[in-house]
């Protein structure tokens, strides 16, 4: 362990009782994921944290962000070597003629292309030598599909084909109902066709925040997600947080898993993301419930992506990111080797984006 790693491990032990294997993460580099790498991955000795953070908000809902280069360094320190760089789906609107931060934001929230520009400009300015970055378009207002292609063209004019992902964008997010957001209706989903055709042609996945429902009506919004899946069967759709939200803290895991089971068998274009600590807080922290999900994820290992759902508002520190990576990785440690390799070590992510990387094989340890 070098000095840097031991400092991380020590601080981690002080800060988080459950923090695991951080000392081993420093051994992961982009070379670990080279197609020529023949070294196997030893799960007993190496980190069980995800190597791919496919859900990382480099821009906050309001105000300044942690600097880009710092976020990249933080990822490196915890052994995350692939990042999907998100802006944020909706930002609080600034009041006109108000300068500074305090009191300058209204309670209204709306999509903005500014944070995509900031991320791409920072990427061009700072680069990321040791971490692979995928830029994501978060500007898309799914209520106004006619605005999406012109804005995609704007980003392309400015940044070429740097943007290879769209999301996290909001189909329905109850947490923002009080801020002027409402669910996108079926008639509007039908009008997505032109931009969905371009995403399909360019093989750009669409990452949707789509609440499944709330504690009173757990499957309330499912018809909206299914409308998207039915209408656009050739688009790669990633379902954020498996539809779980703060408003859905108590769905019966069996109902949730059976619903996903049906969706996976009916819609081959659907994948799910395992990000956001509420999945752990509400569900996976109960060993029995975690066991149900582990079994389900193992059985559908090719359908899942890992991530932190970290939101980089400027008050955040390295240990905040470490904590999110730690908590969102806990379930990964219990997966079987195939699922761990596909999800935590990124094989699903590489296949989805056609990236020239390969997750290492898992070492087979035979007892003496
Ligand atoms: Zn998110």
242 C-alpha to center of ligand 1: Å?
Answer: 12
| Residues, beta carbon < 5 Å, ion ligand 1 | 168, 309
For residues 282 and 249, the answer to whether their CB atoms sit within 8 Å is yes
47 — alpha (psi -120 to 50), left (phi > 0) or beta? beta
55 C-alpha to center of ligand 1: Å?
Answer: 6
368 C-alpha to center of ligand 1: Å?
Answer: 45
359 C-alpha to center of ligand 1: Å?
Answer: 25
pLDDT in tens, the chain (368 residues): 343 444 344 444 444 444 544 444 447 999 999 999 999 999 999 999 999 999 999 998 777 899 999 999 999 999 999 999 998 867 656 667 766 656 666 666 677 899 999 999 999 999 999 999 999 999 999 999 999 999 999 999 999 999 999 999 999 998 877 767 789 999 999 999 999 999 999 999 999 999 999 999 999 999 999 999 999 999 999 999 999 999 999 999 999 999 999 999 999 999 999 999 999 999 999 999 999 999 999 999 999 999 999 999 999 999 999 999 999 999 999 999 999 999 999 999 999 999 999 999 999 877 66
DSSP assignment of 195-233: HHHHHHHHT--EEEEE----SSSTTTTHHHHHHHHHH-T
For residues 149 and 113, the answer to whether their CB atoms sit within 8 Å is no
275 C-alpha to center of ligand 1: Å?
Answer: 8
100 — alpha (psi -120 to 50), left (phi > 0) or beta? left
DSSP 57: E
What CATH number should be reported for the domain whose range is 47-353? Answer: 3.20.20.140
């Amino acid at each position: 362990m070098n000095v840097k790693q031991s400092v991380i491990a020590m601080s981690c032990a002080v800060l988080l009782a459950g923090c695991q294997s951080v000392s081993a993460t420093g051994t992961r580099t982009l070379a670990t994921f080279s197609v020529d790498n023949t070294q196997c991955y030893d799960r007993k000795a190496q980190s069980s944290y995800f190597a791919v953070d496919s859900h990382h908000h480099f821009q906050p809902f309001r105000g300044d962000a942690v600097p880009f280069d710092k976020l990249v360094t933080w990822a490196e320190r915890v052994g995350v070597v692939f990042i999907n760089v998100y802006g944020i789906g909706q930002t609080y609107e600034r009041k006109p003629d108000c300068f500074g931060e305090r009191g300058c934001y209204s309670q209204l929230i709306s999509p903005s292309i500014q944070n995509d520009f900031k991320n791409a400009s920072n990427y061009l300015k700072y680069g990321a030598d040791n971490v692979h970055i995928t830029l994501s378009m978060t500007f898309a207002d799914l209520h106004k599909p006619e605005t999406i292609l012109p804005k995609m063209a704007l980003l392309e004019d400015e940044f070429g084909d740097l943007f290879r992902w769209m999301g996290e964008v909001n189909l329905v997010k109850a947490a923002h109902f009080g801020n002027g957001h409402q669910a996108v209706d079926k008639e509007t989903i039908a009008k997505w066709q032109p931009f969905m055709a371009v995403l399909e042609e360019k093989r750009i996945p669409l990452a949707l925040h789509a609440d499944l429902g709330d504690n009173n009506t757990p499957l309330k919004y499912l018809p909206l997600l299914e409308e998207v899946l039915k209408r656009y069967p050739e688009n790669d759709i990633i379902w954020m947080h498996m539809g779980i939200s703060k408003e859905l803290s108590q769905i019966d895991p069996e109902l949730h898993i059976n619903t996903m089971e049906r969706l996976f068998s009916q819609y081959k274009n659907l994948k799910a993301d395992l990000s956001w600590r509420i999945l752990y807080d509400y569900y996976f922290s109960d060993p029995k419930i975690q066991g149900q999900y582990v079994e389900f994820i193992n059985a559908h290992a090719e359908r899942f992506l890992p991530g932190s759902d970290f939101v980089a508002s400027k008050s955040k520190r390295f240990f905040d990111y470490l904590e999110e990576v730690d908590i969102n990785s806990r379930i990964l440690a219990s997966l079987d080797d195939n699922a761990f390799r596909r999800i935590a070590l990124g094989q699903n992510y590489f296949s989805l984006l056609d990236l020239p990387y390969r997750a290492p094989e898992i070492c087979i340890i035979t007892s003496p």
